[in-house]
Amino acid sequence: MRKTLFLRFSDPTGDDVCWTTTDQQGHPEPHHRCGPLAQLASAATGCRVVAFVPGTEVTLTRVAIPSHNRRRILQALPYALEERLAEDIEILHFAAGQRGTDGELAVAVVARERMDDWTTALQAAQIQPDVLIPEPLAVPHEPEGWSILVAPDISLVRTGPQAGFAAETETLDTVLAIALQEQQTPPAKVRIINCAEDKDLQPLQDALAAAGAAFVLEPCANGILHCLAGGYSDQQALNLLQGDYSRREQIGKLWRPWRPAAALLLTWLLLQGATDIMEYRQIKRESGMLAQRIEQTFREAFPETRRIVDPKVQMERGLAELNSKFGGGAGSFLGLLERTGGVLRDTPGLQLNGASYRDGYLDLDLQVNDLQVLDQLKQRLSGVDGIQAEIQSATANDNKVRSRLRIRSMTS
């Protein structure tokens, strides 16, 4: 089971945090650590990251939006709430939650500047959050009423699955009294979780009693972060990472600077692929033409052969038969070819037009680039042990020299 790391920002700008992880059974560990975000990178590796952001920075409200299209809802939210908000909607970020039984949509509103602070701080620490959720929505939910987490400085009130607010603890009784007055009927039950043992809760209890709300008081065993981690629910989470701050959009922001380079790379790959295909087709055509020339050469050398399967193999067999038939002596046709073939092959620009053998003489009809090459060829052939070479004729034509060269063996 993949672990979850819960972190809570200690200040609105996101410089310091407290964090804890779940155990093998998925329950939050009772102990937590606090410090700079940079210390958290190793602990977050391989974990699903849920970040609790200060409730004082987020406004939770509800609005009627008839559309059920997610993209259109996010586009409509700023204008639907514009008259309720003191700030310019252009500097605010809106996140849509679940639709209640009355058809209204839960909405979270937060300054873009603050969202940038949190996401930038996390990215700088190489942490990719999966959920960014306002603290009030992680207070353990009381299905039949409200839940209040009393903290030393800022207390959190959860009034529904995706509803609540944060208030200074010193003025919590006053803020709560106003919130209760706005209700047509008081909540059936209020659960008070006391995480500030030195605070006097009597004014808070008096405000609840005055509104006719029954309440229960319980201690906060392992601190605020443990309480929030235990109260977090994926099903009821209102994730602030929507719209411009969604995972898809963040990846898109990283991808955008590379789009021109990627387009150039794709174009190059397409051109390279087209070039490779053309070269392959050219090689295939040349291979076919070469195969035809090999077959033609074989037919000319062995005209009596009717069925051709593999010209190369069949020619090797035919030459072997000729060698065995006519002998392999030093002065034989094959013997002379074997001894002079290396010299002929290494002569640049040499073109062999024909060859004949008779009475121990191998006559070669060849063409070279110039007389100097022809003379060098004669000398090299004569330099082969037991070989004599003579130029029978030489004719220059079109910057080429066509010659008849006679070779014989000086050994029996």
DSSP letter (8 states) at residue 94: E
> What angle is formed at CA 226 by the lines to CA 221 and CA 227, rounded to 5 degrees?
70
- Considering the domain architecture, whether residues 211 and 350 belong to the same structural domain is answered as no
What CATH number corresponds to the domain at position 336? 3.30.1360.100
> Is residue 309 domain-resident?
no
- Considering the domain architecture, whether residues 232 and 359 belong to the same structural domain is answered as no
DSSP letter (8 states) at residue 27: P
> Is residue 318 domain-resident?
no
Instruction: Give the pLDDT of residue 249.
Output: 52
- Considering the domain architecture, whether residues 384 and 272 belong to the same structural domain is answered as no
- Considering the domain architecture, whether residues 141 and 79 belong to the same structural domain is answered as yes
- Considering the domain architecture, whether residues 353 and 272 belong to the same structural domain is answered as no
Instruction: Give the pLDDT of residue 105.
Output: 94
> Is residue 198 domain-resident?
yes
Euclidean distance between CA atoms 82 and 89, whole angstroms: 6
Q: Could you report the per-residue pLDDT of 83-108, keeping only the tens digit for each?
A: 888 889 999 999 999 998 888 999 99
- Residues of the chain scoring pLDDT < 70: 12-14, 248-258, 320-330, 411-412
Domain count within the chain = 3
- Considering the domain architecture, whether residues 149 and 96 belong to the same structural domain is answered as yes
Instruction: Give the pLDDT of residue 112.
Output: 95
Provide the residue range defining the domain that includes 94: 4-245
What CATH number corresponds to the domain at position 222? 3.30.420.380
Taking 3-state DSSP, the helix, strand and coil percentages for the chain, each rounded to the nearest 5, stand at 45, 30, 30
- Considering the domain architecture, whether residues 296 and 353 belong to the same structural domain is answered as no
Beta strands in 31-140 (DSSP E): 33-36, 48-53, 58-63, 92-99, 105-111, 131-134
- Considering the domain architecture, whether residues 240 and 266 belong to the same structural domain is answered as no
Instruction: Give the pLDDT of residue 326.
Output: 54
SS3 22: strand
> Is residue 38 domain-resident?
yes
Annotate 71-86 with DSSP letters as a single string. Answer: HHHHHHHHHHHGGG-S
- Considering the domain architecture, whether residues 285 and 338 belong to the same structural domain is answered as no
Q: Could you report the per-residue pLDDT of 280-321, keeping only the tens digit for each?
A: 888 988 888 888 888 888 777 777 777 877 877 777 777 766
Euclidean distance between CA atoms 110 and 238, whole angstroms: 13
Instruction: Give the pLDDT of residue 26.
Output: 84
